[in-house]
Amino acid sequence: MRDKIYNLTPLGRAENLVIEHVEKQGIDEQSQEVKDYKRALSRYQKLIGAKTILKILLYAGVITSAAASIGLQQIQIINQISSYIGVTFLAIAYFTTKHFTMIYREEYEVKREILISK
Domain boundaries, the chain: 28-117
Q: How far apart are CA 32 and CA 65, in angstroms?
A: 49
The average pLDDT across 49-64 equals 85
- The mean predicted confidence, pLDDT, of the chain is 84
The average pLDDT across 80-84 equals 68
Q: How far apart are CA 37 and CA 27, in angstroms?
A: 13
The average pLDDT across 41-68 equals 85
The average pLDDT across 8-28 equals 87
Residue 99's pLDDT band (boundaries 50, 70, 90)? very high
15 pLDDT higher than 70? yes
Write the burial class of residue 79 (CB in 10 Å: 0-12 exposed, 13-18 middle, 19+ buried).
middle
User: Taking the CB of residue 108, how many other CB atoms lie within 10 A of it?
Assistant: 23
Q: What is the pTM of this model?
A: 0.74
